[in-house]
Chain A
Amino acid sequence: MAIVSSLRGIGSRVVNGVWRIGYATRFFLMTLLYSGASFRRFHLTVKEMFSSGVMSLIIILVAGMFVGMVLGLQGYETLKRYGSESALGTLVALSLVRELGPVLAALLFASRAGSAMTAEIGLMKATEQISAMEMMAVNPIARVIAPRFWGGVISLPLLTAMFSSLGVFGGYVVGVVLIGVDEGSFWSQMQAAVDFQHDVLNGVIKSFVFGVAVTVIALFEGYDAPPTAEGVSGATTRTVVQSSLAILILDFILTAFMFRGD
């Protein structure tokens, strides 16, 4: 009987998991379908860009600066062994633009803005604000979800650009100002090595994909959260965990397609 019970439990989890993926997919498609108002009344989207983007600026800028500084230090120590200190600018820029910028900015965005989105939507549901909107003949997907979705999707690439820019500046401060790497070779090698389409654009594509993944997970978890304190806190936790895993898995897949054989 214990085996049957265990199998039943596993089966139930699998079936529920498949249902949730189906619901999430439908939710995503509905969000896209009802996105018109987010652009017709763009002030709604701008408001959400402020909540998710501007409010995340401090953590993104500080983190970007320190990540760049660490890259400068570690990169210099490694490159020095091979007598290639002048390539520090290339190392810092490529690491940030291709990889660390999109991934770390997305992870920070998921923790800061994603969790806030889930908690806000979950509480709106728990306090019947979503139901009230439906009873007022206002589609909550169009009025609440879609502006937040586009606000997040537009914000993350911008935040990533700022993260990478501050990171490069941090690398410059440590490498050139503090350690004394030649400033000319730092910038010129960086300029020569970083290709706009291959490196910068691929980084932007990554951050766009991460933005879609994080905001969809955050909004779906909030919308699907049981209307209780435990339900909302559990949904918030799931947002951070699932978003982080999604970012790392998607990063591997995207990297494999974008940079294979380079």
Chain B
Amino acid sequence: MSSEALVEIRDVNFAYDSRPILKGINMTFPKGKLVAIMGLSGCGKTTILRHIGGVLKPTRGYVKVDGQVIHDLDQDGLYRMRRKMGMLFQFGALFTDMTVYDNVAFQMREHTDLPEEIIHDLVMMKLHAVGLHGTQDLLPAELSGGMARRVALARTIALDPMLIMYDEPFAGLDPISLTVVGQLIRRLNDALGATSVVVTHDVQESLKIVDYIYFVSDGAIIAEGTADDIRASGETFVHQFVYGEMDGPIPFHYPGGNYNMDLGVGA
């Protein structure tokens, strides 16, 4: 990955109270690329995303977005930076008291002085881009999971962000919706000339669309590379994860002490 970096994470450590979550993370997200962060649930993927969004501050190291250390910004600076970002939440996080139209128009109304006619045309274009033109009058409760995710995607790209973050965009989707959302992520990234960060544990879909992958386990990067590098990786954790195998370094059992003792059948 040689092009100029939009996001740089250097030696980032983070802990909740005294429990370490991230340990010496180094990542680079080049402009125009689609990069995935993969790993098991609870390994620290979303925490990395929250650092990029300036929600969390590292205990050591720094996160630079567009040349600025994001956790050093004051609230106005942080909000100015976030206007250039978009984030798709795991289950969309659509505003349930607003129609699809108002959800997509939300940022335009909050951050611009555009007249309502222009906002209308922009909303229609965004909805068309995600294949949901005609749903503008529906409420989020009237959408399927896949449609809600696509509306959220339209809202995420409402102001043509330079950086788009996706938090588990494939969670809970049927196979068709999953492919549709995956392809949309790729196409929108290329069409907008944006940089995208996808946090996911959906290996097969991600390997089809991303340019580069970081594998995180227990708060540290254990492997990185292109989709082909990852598929061919000799790292046992990566191999077990990519191919969904039962046997490997990731144990099936929770480390819960002596099972026989709990059953009362001796040590």
Using CB atoms and an 8 Å cutoff, list the residues of chain A in contact with chain B: 123-124, 127-129, 131-132, 134-139, 143
Partner of B91, one of A123, A128, A135: A128
What would 5 A/B residue contacts be, using CB atoms closer than 8 Å? A132-B87, A132-B89, A134-B82, A135-B85, A136-B83
Question: Is the Cβ of A137 less than 8 Å from the Cβ of B82?
Answer: yes
Q: Give Cα distance in the complex from A129 to B85, angstroms.
A: 16
Q: Is the CB of B95 within 8 A of A129?
A: yes
**Least Cβ–Cβ distance between A30 and chain B, in angstroms:** 11
A interface footprint on B71-92 (CB within 8 Å = 1, 0 otherwise): 0000000111011010101110
Q: Which residue of B lies closest to A130 (CB)?
A: B93
Q: Contact check, B96 vs A135: say whether CB atoms are below 8 A apart.
A: no
Known: A127-B96, A129-B96. A136 touches B107 (CB 8 A): yes
Contact with A along B81-119 (1 / 0, CB 8 A): 011010101110111100000000011001100000000
Q: Please, how many angstroms separate the alpha-carbon atoms of A124 and B95 in the complex? A: 8
B side interface size, CB within 8 A: 20
**Contact of A129 with B110 in the complex, beta carbons under 8 Å:** no
B222 within 8 A of A: no
Residues of B within 8 A of A134 (CB): 55, 82
Whether B53 sits at the interface, judged by CB under 8 Å, is yes
Other contacts beyond A128-B91, A135-B53, A139-B79: 11, CB < 8 A: A124-B96, A127-B96, A128-B89, A131-B55, A132-B87, A136-B82, A136-B106, A137-B79, A137-B82, A137-B111, A143-B110
The answer to whether A131 and B83 touch across the interface, beta carbons within 8 angstroms, is: no
CB distance from B142 to the nearest CB of A (A): 16
In the assembly, what is the distance between CA of A134 and CA of B53, in Å?
10
A138 and B95 CA atoms in complex are apart in Å by 13
* Contact across chains for B90 and A128 when beta carbons are under 8 A apart: yes
- Flag if A131 contacts B93 (CB, 8 Å): yes
The minimal Cβ–Cβ distance linking B84 to chain A, given in whole angstroms, is 9
Closest 3 CB pairs of A and B: A132-B93, A137-B82, A128-B93
B165 and chain A: residue at smallest CB distance: A135
User: Which residues on the B side are within 8 Å of A135 (C-beta)?
Assistant: 53, 55, 82, 85, 87
A138 closest partner in B (C-beta): B110
Cα of A137 to Cα of B95 in the assembled complex, Å: 15
Closest to B49 in A: A135
Q: Mark B233-253, 1 if CB is under 8 A from A, else 0.
A: 000000000000000000000
A137:B83 contact, CB within 8 angstroms: yes
